[in-house]
Structures are given as structure tokens and as C-alpha cells.
């Protein structure tokens, strides 16, 4: 795929491997006890097993689902214990009473609907980032998790990274002072020369199911699978994809998970000069927060901090010092001063989750909230969502994080959700 990015597809997919933790629990244990005991194992199935999803397949997973049969057959080779059931329709997994939890690694436009359906079916969920496509979807996911009392973790695994944890302790213990601004840099979005000429649907792919709730479009290889990221209908560019990782770490370090104030956003960008991708080729975003007063920026393509250059990262600037944190996913890195930092007596110590998947499984057992629970995950993805809305409207917008609406802006509020293609509907238990 032609690209003007320094970031290759292979490099982008690298580092997403998940540990193959034994996950199988004897049938009926959860149903009898309400939640598993400390030593019980949990029956997990995988929905979406191509690309990132394949790395989530453990050696003893109970079932695999994907709309592309080639993805299923390749993923099945990772299963060493037993024979997983294979499905093209995720609803068949949700119908099974012996499955306790699901890992969702589909294109973004499916995350919300599958998560809500899984919660309704009594399954715990770990979904790939980004959390959702729209504000209405994120609210429905949060409400479903709470209403059905399910553990929902988003795979923004930076919060489980030991280096990110050190950076968090460094910042939270006041080593750079009061945060004034955070500046994120990132390579540009990928490009294509294709204008989307209709192609025959591969025999192994259920294209209608791939589209699901998204509006109908003809099949094209540069629309499907990995390339969905470069369409607003399915992805939304790197600001939603990698931006979800980076902003997750930003909110963690700056203690913004509970922020419910107003944020003003202005996003500018340049449309693709060729091809049929509709995300901007380049994008600059500024978010200004009301209380506490600070600024977050996204620059794409951005210029790395020369003190610690990297493909993508952020510079945290306080009133005493600053700190560079590279990446935001499993590939996090930071400056040596943070790595060497020793938390003083009585200081803030961040808990070791033991790994992102492990944290999710443990929270299923205990009923505690995981490190990237659906609530902060929904708040994090709100920023990229409103940035894309600002870009599409061509102007500044102000969003009230508490009311979950734009301030005095009917046009922007009409973009809080998108209609689903028949027969798919999104039910929000909080609206009933």
C-alpha cells in the first residue's frame, strides 16, 4: 500500500502480542458462584482474529470468530489445547452459556455494538482500542457495562506498561510541577493511489457482515481489514487509533480520568490529494481545558523532541521541568530521570497490574475496575472524536464533558451519533 508515512504497516502491527494465559474454566462455575474464585480459570472467546486480533488468541481459547475465513484458519493454528469452535457470526459465541468473556478486535465501527451485545449476554469484555466511533456509542458501552455488571477493559495497554508506570509516578509526585501543556507528535496518516474501483468480494470474506452497522459501500481491498483506519465511517485516522493510546497515557499521568469540565477544541487538517481515503493527510489539534487550565496538542506529522527522538510521543511541560514519554501503547519509553526515580515515603505509587490481559482477568474475579475501565476509556476517546468533528465542521467547538454535549452548537450535537444500517441497532440501557 503506498504511503507517505515513516510508519510501515508491519511496524504498526508489531508489539501487539498478548500473553497466552490459560483461560478455561469448567462449565458452569461462573453461573454457580456469580464470579470465579482466585484460582479459577475463565473461558474466553475471540471475536476478530485478523491483524491485531490474532495476537490476542491464547493457546486454549474456546472459540474464534471472524468474517474472513482465512483469518480464522490462521488464528486456529495458535490454539494448542483442544479444538476451538469456529464462527463467522459473533452472535453464535454470545449464545454459548459456557463462555464467560470475549476479546473484541474488529474494525472500530463494530466495537460498541459488540460490547453492548456481549454485556447483554452476560459476557465480560476486553475490546481493542479505540473505544468507539461516536459519543453516543461510548455512553451506551459505559451504561451497558454498569447495568449488566460486566467488567469491560479497553486494550489501551500503555497503562499496564512498567515504563509508563514509572513516568506516571514521576509526574504525579510533582517532579515537573503543575502541568501547563502536553504536546503529542505523530507521523501522517497513510495514503493510497486507488480511487475505490469496485472489486469482487473474496470468497472467504462475508462483506455484508464486515460492514455491519456502517453504511453500505462496495468492496475494495484498500477499504477492508487494516485499511479501514483511513475512513471516517470505520476508523478516523491515527488520531483515533494511536491517539487513543497517547491520550490514555496523558489522562493517566495528569489525573484527568475524572474530568467533567469543558474543553475547547480546534482541529485543522489537509484533505488527501489523491485516492479515496477521507481522513486528513495531516492534522493539527489543540484542546484547551477549563479547570484545571492546561493545553493538549496533537501535531501530525509532528517533529520529535530532539532530546529523545521517536516515531511518536509526547512532551509533558510543567512549571518546573518537562518529561518526554514515547509511544503510549506496549512500546512506551521515557527519559532516564523518570526510570531512576524513587518514590519518596508517603509519595504516590502506581500499582503494578501484572499485564493488561491479566489485570482484566483479575478484575473479573474480584469485581474491581480494571486499569483501563470503560469509563476513563470513554472519556479518553472523546477528545479524538470531537477533534474529528471540529475538522469536519471546519471550526472550533466546545464540549461539556459532564453533560456529554457540545455547548450551544446544534450542528456539532447532530454528530454525537451516526445512524446504523438496517437491521443493526444500538440499545443504550441508560436510556430506557
What's the mean pLDDT in 203-231?
A: 97
How high is the pLDDT of residue 82?
A: 87
How high is the pLDDT of residue 431?
A: 84
What phi and psi values does residue 422 have, to the nearest 5 degrees?
Answer: -60, 135
Of the candidates 6, 11, 4, the one whose C-alpha atom is nearest the C-alpha of residue 226 is 11
Domains of the chain, each with CATH number or no CATH:
9-159 (3.40.50.720), 162-191+227-352+373-417 (3.30.360.10)
How high is the pLDDT of residue 38?
A: 57
Max alpha carbon distance in the chain (Å)? 65
Question: Does residue 279 register a pLDDT over 50?
Answer: yes
How high is the pLDDT of residue 240?
A: 97
How high is the pLDDT of residue 330?
A: 87
User: Angle at Cα 293 formed by Cα 289 and Cα 299, nearest 5°?
Assistant: 55
**Each residue's pLDDT tens digit, 144-180:** 999 999 999 999 999 999 999 999 999 999 999 999 9
Query: In which order are the strands placed within the sheet that holds 262-270?
Result: 333-334, 322-326, 313-318, 179-185, 294-300, 282-289, 262-270, 397-400, 405-406
Question: Contact 326/308 with Cβ under 8 angstroms?
Answer: yes
400: left (phi over 0), alpha (psi -120 to 50) or beta: beta
What phi and psi values does residue 425 have, to the nearest 5 degrees?
Answer: -140, 150
Of the candidates 114, 139, 100, the one whose C-alpha atom is nearest the C-alpha of residue 379 is 139
| % of the chain exceeding 70 in pLDDT | 91
**Each residue's pLDDT tens digit, 396-423:** 999 999 999 999 999 999 999 999 999 9
Question: Does residue 24 register a pLDDT over 50?
Answer: no
Cα Rg of the chain, angstroms: 21
**Each residue's pLDDT tens digit, 327-365:** 999 899 999 999 999 999 999 999 999 999 999 999 999
What's the mean pLDDT in 103-129?
A: 98
Task: Provide the H-helix boundaries in 255-322.
Answer: none
Mean pLDDT of the chain: 92
CA distances for 123 relative to 83, 364, 377, 400, 412, angstroms: 21, 10, 19, 32, 34
DSSP letter string, 357-404: HHHHHHHHHH-PPPTTBHHHHHHHHHHHHHHHHHHHHTS-EEEETTTT
* β pairing state of 333-334 and 322-326: antiparallel
* β pairing state of 101-104 and 44-47: parallel
Amino acid at each position: 500500500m503506498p504511503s507517505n508515512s515513516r510508519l510501515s504497516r508491519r511496524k504498526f502491527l508489531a508489539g501487539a502480542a498478548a500473553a497466552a494465559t490459560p483461560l478455561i474454566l469448567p462449565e458452569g462455575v461462573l453461573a454457580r458462584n456469580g464470579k470465579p474464585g482466585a484460582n479459577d480459570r475463565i473461558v474466553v472467546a475471540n471475536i476478530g482474529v485478523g491483524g491485531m486480533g490474532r495476537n490476542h488468541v491464547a493457546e486454549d481459547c474456546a472459540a474464534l470468530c471472524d468474517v474472513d475465513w482465512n483469518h480464522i484458519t490462521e488464528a486456529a493454528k495458535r490454539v494448542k489445547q483442544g479444538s476451538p469452535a469456529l464462527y463467522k457470526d459473533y452472535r453464535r459465541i454470545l449464545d454459548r452459556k459456557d463462555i464467560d468473556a470475549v476479546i473484541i478486535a474488529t474494525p472500530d465501527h463494530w466495537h460498541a455494538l459488540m460490547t453492548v451485545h456481549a454485556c447483554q449476554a452476560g459476557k465480560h469484555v476486553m475490546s481493542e482500542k479505540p473505544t468507539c466511533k461516536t459519543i453516543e456509542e461510548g455512553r451506551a458501552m459505559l451504561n451497558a457495562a454498569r447495568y449488566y455488571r460486566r467488567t469491560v477493559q479497553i486494550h489501551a495497554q500503555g497503562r499496564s506498561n512498567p515504563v509508563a508506570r514509572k513516568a506516571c509516578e514521576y509526574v504525579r509526585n510533582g517532579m515537573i510541577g503543575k502541568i501547563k501543556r502536553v504536546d503529542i507528535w505523530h507521523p501522517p496518516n497513510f495514503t493510497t493511489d486507488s480511487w475505490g474501483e469496485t472489486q469482487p468480494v473474496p470468497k472467504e470474506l462475508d462483506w455484508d457482515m464486515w460492514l455491519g452497522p456502517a453504511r453500505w459501500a462496495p468492496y475494495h481491498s484498500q477499504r477492508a481489514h487494516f485499511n479501514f483506519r483511513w475512513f471516517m465511517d470505520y476508523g478516523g485516522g491515527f488520531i483515533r487509533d494511536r491517539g487513543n493510546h497517547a491520550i490514555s497515557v496523558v489522562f493517566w499521568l495528569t489525573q484527568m480520568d475524572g474530568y467533567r469540565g469543558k474543553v475547547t477544541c480546534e482541529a485543522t487538517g489537509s484533505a488527501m490529494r489523491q485516492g479515496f481515503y477521507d481522513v486528513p493527510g495531516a492534522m493539527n489539534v489543540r484542546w484547551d481545558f477549563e479547570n484545571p487550565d492546561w493545553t493538549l496538542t496533537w501535531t501530525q506529522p509532528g517533529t520529535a523532541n530532539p532530546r529523545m527522538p521517536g516515531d511518536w510521543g509526547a512532551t509533558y511541560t510543567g512549571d518546573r521541568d518537562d518529561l518526554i514519554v514515547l509511544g503510549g501503547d506496549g512500546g512506551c519509553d521515557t527519559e532516564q530521570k523518570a526510570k531512576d526515580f524513587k518514590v519518596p515515603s508517603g509519595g504516590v505509587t502506581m500499582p503494578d497490574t501484572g499485564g493488561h490481559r491479566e489485570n482484566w482477568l483479575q478484575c473479573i474475579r474480584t469485581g474491581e475496575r480494571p486499569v483501563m475501565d470503560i469509563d476513563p476509556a470513554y472519556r479518553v476517546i472523546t477528545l479524538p472524536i470531537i477533534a474529528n468533528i471540529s475538522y469536519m465542521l471546519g471550526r472550533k467547538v466546545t464540549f461539556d464533558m459532564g453533560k456529554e454535549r457540545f455547548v450551544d452548537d446544534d450542528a456539532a450535537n447532530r454528530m454525537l451519533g451516526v445512524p446504523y444500517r438496517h437491521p443493526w441497532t444500538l440499545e443504550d440501557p441508560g436510556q430506557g
